[in-house]
Chain A
Amino acid sequence: MWRPSTRLALLAALAAGLVALPVISLGLTALSREALAVWPHLTANVLPAALGDTLLLLAGVAAFCGIVGVGTAWLVTQHDFPGRASLEWLLVLPLAMPTYITAYVYVEILGFQGPLQSALRALTGYRSLRDYWFPDPRNLTGAILILGLVLYPYVYLSVRALFGMQSAAIVESARTLGASRWTLFRRVGLPMARPALVAGLTLALLETLNDIGASEYLGVRSLTLSVYTTWLNRSSLPGAAQIACVMLLVVVGLILAEMHTRGARRFALPVKRLRPVGRSRLPRGAAWAASAACTLPVLLGAILPLAYLIGEFLRRDLIIQMDAAMLRSLANTVAISALATAVVVVVGVGVAAAVRLGREPWLPSVARLASLGYALPGTVLALGLLVPLAAFDNLIADASRAIFGASPGLLLLGSGAALIIAYLVRFLSIALAGTQSGLARISPRIDDAARSLGAGRRELLRRLHWPLARPAIAAAALLVFVDCMKELPMTLLLRPLNVETLATLVYGHASRGVFEDGALAALLIVLIGIYPAIMLARAGNGERLAAAS
């Protein structure tokens, strides 16, 4: 029997192989002879505009998430102001909103018959848009703001965790040296936040890159959308694969930038109990300004859209939508997401443990490869997986017919296992990164100490790493769960007969142009997502406690 670390290394290699599967199948498609014929058209007419729009979108979302995420994280960890304790976790809430739902809600709220324009007309006596100008969210700026509002919590969460764990000594020294609050933020806070900022931004930008629902609805012609139109309108999967490869380059760029920023620095914490930073009390005006600054993102990112959905729910008596089919898709959604989360977390922890304990020099690269799935657009990934998974299914079905005279049908695709595999490939990086960040805070010197006391690898994992990294792993698990629940394109393509989830239900109605028929399902997605989001915010606190204990 192999040693545990070897078994873990094998698991890591297997996971990386699974992630590589769609990438390879994508690459092969992109290089086919038919594909080479499409390339000139793409470079001349599609890529310049799509790449430009995508880069603008990414830059805008990065700026928005960076400013809002870091700013609010600094305020809630360093200062005291009215409502701070609630805002600390409320700021995570927008994460529960799927981007496509927020986009829809904002188009309604800001629309001609929305509350704002109606009030304006009632006040002024104007009658139509020919009489006045009103901001329209259906453009690049609108998309940046809306995606930013939903995605800033990625930055907030990671930066807040970092601020919360800094030794009080640094901040206090700076204060003693007479640094003003602003100088403190600029000279101490920002440099400290950089690695966490980059990590959070990477997640937010990958989500942006993958988004299809919101950007299509808001009329942004992103690379992802171009993948779709090339594939569907021109029946050119190879062309789509090429655009997807360009996207992959953008992603690799993002990841390289992250690694570069992280550099050789290590962020392991000392073992001894950390004294939390004492929050400074703000003068009255500044305190209220801080409250307002932290309330605004929560209000716009979560409360307003949620209130709108609930308002529609009440106004239209949408409770009648709660029928047997709705309950079934609710059960499907929770069951599939929970099962997928369990699988993703187990594999993620396994790979992270392999990297931590293994001696094989190739392990870090393998782990990085296993993280790539998050960067692929859902549909492209699902298409890439479809071929190998179906081939496997057919192999089993044919063999079983030859041997037993009966076929079980399509094993993976027919049972929903294919969907779980797709979630694994897509979301593994969340569990992996979560576990690794948890492990990174445990100094290797502790490992050495435990070893010298005679602890084996298994014991090291069980008695040291697991308890210390558990909060980080739990937080990652919650993120994976929410993401699985919201996931649309892969679910749509890979689920078995007669299975609907809440997301496919919403999509079915929205694509008929009657979003309101799916409003209850949308509300359920948000409500189920809120609980994990709150847990996530709490887990951030718990992490601090765990590290301190």
Chain B
Amino acid sequence: MSVKSRLYAAALTSCLLAGPAFAQSVNLYTTREPALLNPVIEAFTKDTGIKVNAVFLKDGLQERIKAEGANSPADVMLMVDVGQINQAADAGITQPIQSAVVDKTVPAALRGPGNNWVTLTQRARIVIGSKDRVKQDAITYEELADPKWKGKFCIRAGQHPYNNAFFAAYLARNGAEKTEAYLKALKANTARKPGGGDREVARDILSGQCDIAIINTYYIGLMSKATNEQKSWYEAIKPLKSTFAGGGTHVNVSAAAIAKNAPNKDNAVKLIEYMLGEKAQHLYADGNFEYPVNAAVKEAAAVKLLGALTPDTTPLGEVAKNRKAASELVDKVGFDN
């Protein structure tokens, strides 16, 4: 081994083995991006003295915890899609969260079966329209299928989890046949091939490529704060009050669960309780313009920007159950082709 590679090896070892100087710690597996989590984590460590070791995973968080099995260091998992967190619970890698704080703060409808997961924040998936070219201020999701939007509708890939959950909610309300027809009609209205990210639909409205699009609410907030050209995307669009016909707005959640074999279970509960507290809810929800789950939190940034939220009443569990069927319908109608 050359001197150089020895140095590299030493550097690697020190990177990988640098142990925390904290007596207490909690290990976090998260699909939520670190930049959004760090402020809350830092506050938690400062207030409690418990160090948080985190790994940001995307696809495969579940498979990893499952494979790591009894010796997994994972204590808390954080995910940003109801389908995924529900599936983790179904896969048996979570355990019931036993906490009076959780029970008191979060309504039962926003907790998983057997308290196996708990909602931290909510985000809505709504319709935005061009400020100049769209007159109406409210819309039903059903109306998006109207031929009047032909060649004017933009959306990211139908197989993206956000759309998948939205279509699953539609499916839970309307059944397979109507959903298939809905997807076909939506596809026929698209101005371009479904793809890109959520923010790009706002840009495509600015450019005139489309008039109307679907987006998660927090992107609107983030664009409103942008210091680059995204600010002009924000200025070109307006949020429409979006609901299912005779229902509410489609919401998804960011949620937490405790790993079945959590080695630091007490600290895991502490972290989740902390994240539900008013201070953390402000830090965590406002940083990304999400709706706090703790009703005591007033003046959330999302509410200030977009008004209060009336979530659709379809239980999140139902949405999660229909994900697979919705995904198959997306393939069947060739939505992303």
List the A side residues contacting B207 at CB < 8 Å: 111-112, 128-129
Q: List 24 A-B contacts (CB under 8 A).
A: A45-B328, A46-B331, A49-B337, A219-B195, A219-B196, A234-B328, A316-B228, A338-B5, A339-B8, A342-B5, A379-B59, A386-B60, A386-B64, A390-B67, A409-B71, A492-B56, A492-B59, A494-B64, A498-B54, A513-B197, A513-B198, A514-B222, A516-B228, A517-B35
Tell me the residues in window 116-149 of chain A with beta carbons closer than 8 Å to chain B beta carbons.
127-131, 136, 138-139
Question: Interface digits, B167-204 against A, CB 8 Å rule (1 contact, 0 not)?
Answer: 00000000000000000000000001111111100011
Tell me the residues in window 207-236 of chain A with beta carbons closer than 8 Å to chain B beta carbons.
216-219, 221, 225, 228-229, 231-236
Structural contact, A493 and B60, CB atoms closer than 8 A: yes
Question: Interface digits, A399-439 against B, CB 8 Å rule (1 contact, 0 not)?
Answer: 00000000101100111100000000000000000000000
Structural contact, A233 and B12, CB atoms closer than 8 A: no
Contact A129:B55 (CB < 8 A) given known A386-B64, A386-B67: no
Chain A minimum-CB-distance residue to B91:
A235
A interface residues, tally (CB under 8 Å)? 81
Tell me the residues in window 315-346 of chain A with beta carbons closer than 8 Å to chain B beta carbons.
316, 328, 331-332, 334-336, 338-339, 342
Contact A497:B27 (CB < 8 A) given known A232-B59, A383-B60, A390-B68: yes
Contact A232:B193 (CB < 8 A) given known A316-B228, A390-B69, A512-B35: no
Structural contact, A112 and B206, CB atoms closer than 8 A: yes
Q: Which of B135-143, B157-165, B242-250 contacts A (4 or more CB under 8 A)?
A: B157-165
Residues of chain A touching chain B, judged by Cβ–Cβ distance below 8 Å, are: 41, 44-46, 49, 107, 111-113, 127-131, 136, 138-139, 216-219, 221, 225, 228-229, 231-237, 316, 328, 331-332, 334-336, 338-339, 342, 379, 382-383, 386-387, 389-391, 393-394, 397-398, 407, 409-410, 413-416, 489, 492-500, 504, 507-509, 511-514, 516-517
Contact A394:B15 (CB < 8 A) given known A139-B193, A507-B58, A516-B228: no
Chain B minimum-CB-distance residue to A336:
B12
Structural contact, B324 and A415, CB atoms closer than 8 A: no
**Is B314 an interface residue, CB under 8 A from the partner?**
no
Structural contact, A235 and B87, CB atoms closer than 8 A: yes
Question: How many angstroms from the CA of A518 to the CA of B80 in the assembled complex?
Answer: 21
The winner among A231, A236, A338, A497 for most chain B CB atoms within 10 A is A497
Report the minimum CB–CB distance from B9 to chain A (whole Å).
6
B interface residues, tally (CB under 8 Å)? 67
Beyond A44-B332, A414-B73, list 9 extra A-B contacts (CB 8 Å). Answer: A45-B331, A128-B208, A233-B164, A236-B324, A339-B5, A389-B67, A394-B68, A415-B16, A492-B58
Structural contact, B16 and A416, CB atoms closer than 8 A: yes
Structural contact, B196 and A500, CB atoms closer than 8 A: no
**Is B33 an interface residue, CB under 8 A from the partner?**
yes
Chain B minimum-CB-distance residue to A111:
B203
Cross-chain contact of B161 among A232, A328, A394 (Cβ < 8 A)? A232
Cross-chain contact of A335 among B1, B12, B232, B327 (Cβ < 8 A)? B12
Residues of chain B touching chain A, judged by Cβ–Cβ distance below 8 Å, are: 1, 5, 8-9, 11-12, 15-17, 27, 33-36, 53-60, 63-64, 67-73, 83-84, 87, 157, 159, 161, 164, 192-199, 203-204, 206-209, 219, 222, 228-229, 232, 323-324, 326-328, 331-332, 334, 336-337
Report the minimum CB–CB distance from A294 to chain B (whole Å).
33
Task: Give the interface SS of chain B, mostly helix, strand, loop or mixed.
Answer: helix
Structural contact, B334 and A49, CB atoms closer than 8 A: yes
Structural contact, B203 and A393, CB atoms closer than 8 A: no
Structural contact, B71 and A394, CB atoms closer than 8 A: yes
Question: How many angstroms from the CA of A391 to the CA of B67 in the assembled complex?
Answer: 7
Report the minimum CB–CB distance from A32 to chain B (whole Å).
15
List the A side residues contacting B73 at CB < 8 Å: 409-410, 414, 497
Report the minimum CB–CB distance from A138 to chain B (whole Å).
6
Question: How many angstroms from the CA of A413 to the CA of B17 in the assembled complex?
Answer: 12
The winner among A131, A219, A328, A379 for most chain B CB atoms within 10 A is A219
Structural contact, A332 and B68, CB atoms closer than 8 A: no
List the B side residues contacting A234 at CB < 8 Å: 323-324, 327-328
